[in-house]
Amino acid sequence: MKVRRKGIMKRFLPRTLFGRSLIIVVAPIILLQMVTTYIFFDRHWNRMTGRLAFAVAGETAILADQFESDPPPETVQRIAGYASRNLELLIGFDRGGTLQTVDREHSGWDSIVASMLAGALENQVRRPFEIAVDIEDKWVSIGVQLTNGVLHVTLPQGRLFSSSGYIFLLWMFGTSIVLIVIAILFMRNQVRPIRRLAVAAERFGKGRDVPAFKPEGAHEVRQAARAFLEMHERVRRQIEQRTAMLAGVSHDLRTPLTRLKLQLAMLGDSPDVQACKADIEVMERMIQGYLDFARGEAGEVATRTDIARMLERLVAAAKREGADIVLSVQGDPGASIRPLAFERCLMNVVANARRFGTTVWINAAATEEAIEIAVDDNGPGVPEERYEDVFKPFFRLDSSRNVETGGVGLGLPIAMDVIHSHGGRIWLEKSKHGGLRVVMTVPR
Ligand SMILES: Nc1ncnc2c1ncn2[C@@H]1O[C@H](COP(=O)(O)OP(=O)(O)OP(=O)(O)O)[C@@H](O)[C@H]1O
Ligand SMILES: [Mg+2]
């Protein structure tokens, strides 16, 4: 039950900060207006209109009594003059006449006023009557059937109806619309810096360059933006340092290694020398791996790249080397990536698949927000409990470090580094072709 209620709340609450804060401001205004309007109409306006109707009905009742006693014409004149001067009532007496039924179709305020007046007349006059409301000329006329004729009473609408209700509502809605507009403008300015920060953080997470922006907005937002920019700078510097160091060390190690190799070459061809040579070969490949990795990372900027074309190139090159690779692409997998690093990642994964299987299947699919690339092979695969280990640097399932069965153990760690720096994910699965399935996703 609790869960469901939360779901309903979520469904009706706007999802953006802008929408939510607007609701926080607007909802009380609307609620207040509804309550005020209700109280105003129920208590004040209705009661006042009722009293006005009561007064008019009372006066009409007195007039009806007077006219029913068959007064002489002078008295009729006197009463009419008296009523028009003091009560704003125009009197007409149709001696011997009968009441004409009029079309009683009122709408809006007039219908409320008319029905209140009708109720009051019924109570006080206690004779058949008709009411006609002339909205345009703002007149109300009442006809009452007396025993000796028809009494016509015409009065201005102002005697029955107070326009202060209209004015009150107009002011109330007018001011609240002004308030809401001001709130919208103000809120937009408050939300903009937060949105900018969110976009920057998202770009950073995906490994794209973050445009410099000035911290703006409320104090807390500015503080968060400043902290983000500092963090971004620190991380950038760290990556730079790491790659520079890696490249430096690898480069420097090459020279003594070359020297060692030369010295070994002069030592002849004993089994010990052979073993040393093999070790040196491994070291050289490691160093090459570091250098490739460092080169891929350093300073490469993300650009919009057609991943399908990149895969086709890779597959064509592998086929020339005699590999059996099946490529299938769904959708249009274009994304903002760092092409060298990304190609290195793909190459590492495909190289593994080629080494361990005889056939490789590459499947790329583009969805709205991500590109998914899966590389399958029909090799022996990796036991599930080793899925995490193979991403660790220098880890190999075959611990003999045989050059034939594997490399240095940096292929997958580098691939993971590249994918993560693009804000993507990489994981292993069991392939339906029997071997290993490596799945990579990157946001577009
Ligand atoms: N497709 C695969 N099938 C079976 N085992 C695999 C597969 N891919 C990787 N592995 C296992 O994971 C280990 C680590 O792979 P990784 O690519 O990191 O290193 P490597 O291939 O041994 O060396 P490098 O790629 O640096 O030359 C491999 O040694 C291998 O044991
Ligand atoms: Mg490898």
Question: What is the whole-number distance in angstroms between the Cα of residue 103 and the centre of ligand 1?
Answer: 94
Residue 393 Cβ < 6 Å to ligand 1: no
pLDDT on residue 364: 95
Instruction: Tell me which of 6-20, 105-119, 145-159, 343-357 is least confident.
Output: 105-119
Q: Quick check: 278 pLDDT over 80?
A: yes
Residue-averaged pLDDT of the chain: 86
Cβ neighbour number for residue 184 with a 10 Å cutoff: 14
Q: Which of 345, 348, 352 to mutate to test the pocket of ligand 1 (most atoms within 8 A of CB)?
A: 352
CA of 404 to the centre of ligand 2 (A): 12
Query: pTM to 2 decimals?
Result: 0.59
Residues linked to residue 194 through DSSP beta bridges, in sequence order: none
Beta bridge partners of 439: 374, 427
Of all ligands present, the nearest one to the C-alpha of 434 is 1
Residues 29, 50: Cα–Cα separation, whole Å: 30
Give 153's strand partners: 91, 142
Alpha carbon of 29 to ligand 2 centroid (Å): 64
Ligand 1 centre from 426 Cα, in Å? 14
Q: Residue 354 CA: which ligand is closest?
A: 1
Q: Sketch out the chain's domains with CATH numbers.
A: 2-162 (3.30.450.300), 301-443 (3.30.565.10)
Cα(32)–Cα(57) distance, rounded to whole angstroms? 36
Q: Between 406 and 380, where is the model more confident?
A: 380
Q: How confident is the model at residue 312, as a pLDDT? A: 94
Question: Which ligand 1 atom lies nearest to the CA of residue 353?
Answer: 1
- What DSSP element (H or E) covers 92? strand 90-95
Q: For residue 357, name the pLDDT band (cuts at 50, 70, 90).
A: very high
The fraction of the chain above a pLDDT of 90, given in percent, is 35
Cβ 353 under 6 angstroms from ligand 1: yes
Question: Who has greater pLDDT, 251 or 326?
Answer: 326
Higher-scoring residue by pLDDT: 407, 200 = 200
Among 300-304, 359-363, 405-409, the range of highest mean pLDDT: 359-363
Is residue 98 predicted with pLDDT exceeding 80? yes
Neighbours of 175 (CB within 10 A): 12
Instruction: Please give the single-letter amino acid code of residue 320.
Output: R
Q: Is the C-beta atom of 279 inside 6 A of ligand 1?
A: no
What is the CA(280)–ligand 2 centre distance, in A? 19
pLDDT at 403: 53
* Distance, CA of 421 to CA of 209 (rounded, Å): 11
pLDDT digits 0-9 by tens, 406-425: 677 888 988 998 898 898 99
Mutation probe of ligand 1 site: the residue of 390, 433, 437 with most atoms within 8 A of C-beta: 390
Report the distance separating Cα 158 and Cα 140, nearest Å: 9
342 CA to centre of ligand 1 in angstroms: 18
Whether the predicted pLDDT of 150 surpasses 80? yes
